[in-house]
């Protein structure tokens, strides 16, 4: 008999297939004492295993490219963290085996993060994966991972490590469902990049029996267990209609009555450019530059290296708009040479623009590199600062851009509620706003974006979040300036219509979502989008907001 479960849909599409579970293994090594004369050998084994795992993560990243590469390189840095390695060697020196020392050292660090209120919960999940990989190598056992199957299947897991998600084969993995995670977790972001239907934060997902047939709707978050024939036909019809709409969709983003809404791509580096161009992106709305800073946690990349990487992206969009976010370091993206190691709440400390203003040489080099990269190119370069809190921040960034000789528009990201509430003040210093809805939701609701248990508060349909978007968009309109959205909210086709109705002037998303958003926007007039936005804001919950907008757009 068909039953329905509901999680959080994070990647569009429908998948129907048999359940296969992510492989698991007991990776807690026995606690045994080793003779003192074996300590040097055990320490060498630990170092070799750590280096091998780090190299493997980097190799996987090179294969995956794009955002996945940045995530996996960050994990490699975590594996080789000097403080963790020092703790491992200390434990071995007092009698632990290499595998037990790694297990205990990582457990100790994990406990510190958990006790800090899980502000780094996303890093905790990555930390567990790194630990498992190192311990598995030391024990000489296979690393738990994606099941071996010749037939396509729906993958079920408690959570998916980035190293596994990045290299999923879409021809075999029809979709995936996880018990943990949230709409802005690493796995969710990578699923969208892969174009694989995915649902996260589904309680009891791992209790689904191996071989059970399920239908996964990555748009709604619904999981149909043992779907009926009628349900399968309904989902197949919806999927076919979606494919037809996507095939018929082309050209610039616009509503049915011709109101233009440029559809831009979020990219994590040059490797993402090809997919963005192929998807018909009208430019880049968020060029994350962190990938350049992950190769060496001890120093910033040279100006020459930055110029080369930036120019590769700028050349791909002649006469297009490319919005570059300067380095967003801190919180879940720590860099040894920049970010403090002892902050009690890193997400509320020195991160984003605050980090760069504390290290003006790093900011100056990046801005100078961007200026050089754009020389002679017919591209519309725009540069924005992350984590702008007020007009003082905005002025400091604009001044730095001018001092670096940067001929571009300067903008501010709206990720802190104060920036949305005082957007008109900030716009006295900069020329555009870009809403980062992931962090804006995190700070509005005090809900960590990586923690599955608070995922409902990370839902971009939350009316309070829509209110802040509306406030920023209205301020930009009053000042005659632009206000885009580059957070994951823009990748939801229905929500894209609502954002347009709120006054947002451009939408930026992963390349895989552009066709969905373009096709959906083209079905409705601007007036319909405005009515849907008003209806959503008049509700009290995310689910009510979604239903209200859907009702308006479907003419109910």
The residues annotated as belonging to the active site are 186, 486
Burial of 73 (0-12, 13-18, 19+ CB in 10 A): buried
> Which residue matches tokens 């280096």?
51
Neighbours of 124 (CB within 10 A): 19
* 8 Å CB contact between 53 and 133: yes
Distance CA(408)–CA(121), nearest Å, equals: 36
* 8 Å CB contact between 360 and 400: yes
Distance CA(453)–CA(115), nearest Å, equals: 16
* 8 Å CB contact between 475 and 432: no
Strand partners, 72: none
Structure tokens at 275: 């997919």
Terminal CA-CA length for the chain:
31
Q: Left, alpha or beta for 331 (phi > 0: left; psi -120 to 50: alpha)? A: left
> Which residue matches tokens 């206000």?
483
Which has the closest alpha carbon to 149: 25, 24, 18? 18
H or E element at residue 508: strand 506-509
Distance CA(17)–CA(215), nearest Å, equals: 7
> Which residue matches tokens 């919005």?
323
Distance CA(363)–CA(127), nearest Å, equals: 29
Q: What is the largest CA-CA distance in the chain?
A: 79
Neighbours of 243 (CB within 10 A): 12
Distance CA(348)–CA(350), nearest Å, equals: 7
Backbone phi, psi, residue 296, to 5°? -145, 110
Structure tokens at 210: 């191996």
């Amino acid at each position: 008999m068909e039953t329905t479960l509901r999680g959080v849909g994070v990647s569009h599409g429908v998948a129907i297939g048999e359940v296969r579970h992510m492989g698991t293994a007991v990776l807690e090594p026995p606690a045994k004492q080793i003779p003192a004369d074996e300590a040097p050998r055990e320490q060498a084994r630990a170092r070799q295993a750590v280096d091998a795992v780090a190299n493997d993560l980097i190799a996987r990243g090179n294969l995956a490219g794009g955002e996945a590469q940045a995530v996996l390189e960050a994990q490699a840095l975590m594996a080789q963290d000097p403080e963790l390695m020092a703790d491992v060697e200390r434990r071995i020196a007092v009698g632990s085996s290499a595998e037990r020392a790694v297990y205990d050292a990582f457990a100790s660090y994990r406990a510190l993060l958990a006790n800090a209120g899980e502000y780094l919960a996303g890093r905790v999940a990555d930390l567990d994966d790194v630990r498992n990989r190192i311990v598995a190598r030391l024990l000489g056992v296979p690393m738990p991972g994606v099941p071996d199957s010749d037939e396509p299947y729906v993958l079920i897991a408690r959570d998916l490590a980035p190293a596994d998600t990045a290299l999923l084969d879409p021809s075999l993995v029809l979709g995936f469902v996880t018990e943990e995670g949230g709409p802005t977790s690493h796995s969710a972001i990578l699923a969208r990049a892969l174009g694989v239907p995915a649902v996260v934060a589904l309680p009891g997902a791992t209790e689904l029996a191996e071989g059970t047939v399920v239908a996964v709707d990555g748009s709604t978050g619904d999981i149909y267990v043992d779907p009926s024939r009628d349900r399968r036909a309904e989902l197949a019809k919806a999927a076919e209609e979606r494919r037809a709409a996507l095939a018929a969709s082309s050209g610039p983003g616009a509503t049915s009555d011709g109101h233009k809404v440029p559809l831009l791509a979020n990219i994590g580096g040059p490797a993402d450019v090809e997919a963005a161009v192929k998807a018909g992106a009208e430019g880049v709305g968020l060029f994350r530059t962190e990938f350049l800073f992950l190769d060496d946690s001890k120093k910033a990349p040279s100006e020459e290296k930055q110029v080369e990487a930036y120019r590769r992206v700028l050349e791909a969009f002649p006469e297009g708009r490319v919005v570059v976010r300067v380095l967003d370091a801190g919180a879940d993206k720590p860099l040894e040479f920049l970010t403090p190691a002892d902050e009690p709440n890193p997400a509320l400390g020195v991160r984003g623009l605050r980090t760069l203003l504390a290290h003006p040489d790093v900011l100056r080099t990046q801005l100078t590199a961007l200026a050089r990269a754009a020389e002679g190119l017919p591209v519309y370069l725009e540069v924005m600062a992350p984590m702008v809190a007020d007009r003082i921040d905005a002025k400091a960034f604009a001044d730095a851009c001018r001092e670096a000789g940067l001929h571009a528009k300067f903008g501010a990201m709206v990720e802190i509620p104060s920036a949305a509430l005082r957007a008109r003040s900030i716009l006295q210093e900069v020329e555009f706003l870009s809403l980062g809805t992931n962090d804006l939701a995190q700070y509005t609701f005090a809900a960590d974006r990586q923690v599955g248990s608070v995922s409902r508060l990370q839902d971009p349909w939350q009316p309070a979040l829509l209110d802040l978007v509306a406030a920023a968009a209205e301020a930009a309109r009053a000042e005659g300036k632009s206000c885009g959205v580059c957070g994951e909210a823009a990748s939801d086709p229905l929500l894209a219509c609502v954002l347009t109705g709120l006054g947002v002037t451009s939408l930026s998303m992963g390349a895989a979502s552009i066709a969905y958003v373009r096709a959906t926007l083209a079905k409705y007039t601007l007036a319909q989008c405005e009515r849907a936005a008003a209806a959503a804001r008049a509700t009290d919950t995310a689910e009510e907001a979604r239903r209200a907008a859907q009702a308006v757009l479907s003419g109910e």
